[in-house]
Amino acid sequence: MPEILVDINYSLKKFVNNGLDENSLIDYKEKAQKGFLKLEQLHKSGKIGFPEVVNQDISVFKEFAKKNTGKYNDLVVIGIGGSSLGIEAIVESLLPFGYNALSFSERGGFPRIWVMDNVDPHKNRSILRHCQPEDTLVCVISKSGGTVETLFNFNKVYSWFIDNKVENIHDHLILITDPEKGFLRKYGKENGIKLFDIPENIGGRFSVLTSVGLVPLSLLGIEIEKLLEGAKHFLNNGIEKALYLAAVYLYFMDNKKCINVLMPYTSRLGKFSEWFSQLWAESLGKKNSNNGELINFGTTPLKSIGAIDQHSLLQLFKEGPNDKHFTFIEILNHIFDKKCKDTISKDLNHFKGVSTGELLDYELRATELVLRKAGRPTVKIVLDILDEFSLGYIIMMYMYIVSIIGLANDINPFDQPGVEEGKKYINGLLGREEYLEFKKAFEQDYIK
């Protein structure tokens, strides 16, 4: 089983100016440990459930996928934030680029995948124009079961089925939601629509390894048991690494690095960086009162992709404000990687014998050195290959790290009051009775 490595050397004082010294590393590791113990308590008491996903019974997801394989040409996922980003992250990492352009047989009878996250007329119309209603399965995902964007899109897609005179519309629908509460649960129950539960103690951005991700991913033929094996391997062997990484992040958050850059060296992890950004920002961006003094906690996550951003952001990373901490993700063995055999000109002979993956590796090393020499601290996560296993591992690792950082700083990483406030104004503007006070507050405070 290939180990996932975490290399923090280039964040340490002995390698980089302004890095952490040994004593700070010990202190911050202790702080991380305190956060970890709090997480363990929340987990043991059943308040927080995401570590439990490795013990769930996935046979029902797999059976459902098996029954539906070959039946649909398109799968439309409707959800937003934690109810869509994780799915997109895994799809982009594991399915080939341009997957939707492959034929049905090239896809092995698995459907194309479309994610309707935004209420964007152009995007949503384009998605539906690609799909034939009779041939489409729609998976609506919402933990609360009441998110405006998701329900609005669900309503539109349902009308699209009606307009196209689809019989048995409910056979084309799956609803994934809270086991008890919310509109989707009620609607699904009343109308006999297939429902899957999201455990009550797992919130949106921590839910990708529950039915939220596992149902649509297994419908796409992704080996979901391997995602969970990777997550489990992290729980059994990776906590110490997560504590070191959390200690480094904690130190730099306290030491003026207000931007946290995640820079995987592969385009396959672009959406993963967006998933990470949501997890980091929504969990850690909190106001907190420390001995009566109000603190605005959190740092800003920034997605960057190697080698592409070496031709844009790297200039700022090296010579702009020294307010960033960097995490690289390196992949040692890239699939489809081949050495360059011939060159079209002798001027290009230095490419001979070099594979694309090797060049990507030189690019990463060059960036590491540029930043180290400029006194910019970095860490690196090294994966042997990018597959279900390693992805499951780093997903669980980051859910741990973010929780540890929040709890170590006495903030609640599992709520999102700012996001909820926005939802209330939208409901008010839509004229919902229960939110009229937000409509009034909006009319009073919003200055045109």
Which residues are annotated as catalytic? 282, 311, 423
Q: Other CB atoms closer than 10 Å to residue 76's CB: what's the count?
A: 26
Least separation in angstroms between residue 151's CB and ligand PA5 is: 9
Whether 44 and 415 have beta carbons less than 8 Å apart is answered as no
Alpha-carbon span 237 to 347, nearest angstrom: 48
DSSP code string of 229-270 = HHHHHHHHHTHHHHHHHHHHHHHHHHTT--EEEEEESSGGGH
DSSP code string of 210-236 = SHHHHHHHHHTT--HHHHHHHHHHHHH
Alpha-carbon span 248 to 287, nearest angstrom: 22
Residue nearest to ligand PA5 (CB): 204
Least separation in angstroms between residue 20's CB and ligand PA5 is: 30
Least separation in angstroms between residue 143's CB and ligand PA5 is: 4
Structure tokens at 304: 């960057």
Tell me which H or E stretch contains 77: strand 74-78
- For ligand PA5, the closer of residues 282 and 387 by Cβ is 282
- For ligand PA5, the closer of residues 88 and 368 by Cβ is 88
- For ligand PA5, the closer of residues 11 and 416 by Cβ is 416
Cα 22 to its chain centre, rounded Å, is: 32
- For ligand PA5, the closer of residues 135 and 415 by Cβ is 415
Binding residues vs ligand PA5 (CB under 6 A): 80-83, 142-144, 147, 150, 203-205, 282, 416, 419
Q: Which residue has the tokens 């901490």?
A: 325
- For ligand PA5, the closer of residues 205 and 376 by Cβ is 205
Least separation in angstroms between residue 221's CB and ligand PA5 is: 25
- For ligand PA5, the closer of residues 314 and 395 by Cβ is 395
Backbone angles phi, psi at 378, to 5 degrees: -135, 160
Tell me which H or E stretch contains 294: strand 293-297
**Using the 8-state DSSP alphabet, how is residue 108 labeled?**
T
- For ligand PA5, the closer of residues 73 and 142 by Cβ is 142
Structure tokens at 414: 């599992």
Least separation in angstroms between residue 194's CB and ligand PA5 is: 18
Least separation in angstroms between residue 129's CB and ligand PA5 is: 25
Alpha-carbon span 184 to 143, nearest angstrom: 9
Least separation in angstroms between residue 299's CB and ligand PA5 is: 18
Alpha-carbon span 159 to 151, nearest angstrom: 12
- For ligand PA5, the closer of residues 5 and 419 by Cβ is 419
Q: Which of 4, 21, 3, 1 is nearest to 12 (CA)?
A: 21
Least separation in angstroms between residue 6's CB and ligand PA5 is: 25
**Using the 8-state DSSP alphabet, how is residue 430 labeled?**
T
As a whole number of angstroms, the longest Cα–Cα distance in the chain is 74
**307 preceded by cis ω (within 30°)?**
yes
- Could you give the C-alpha distances from 210 to 41, 46, 178, 279, 443, in angstroms and in order? 21, 16, 12, 16, 40
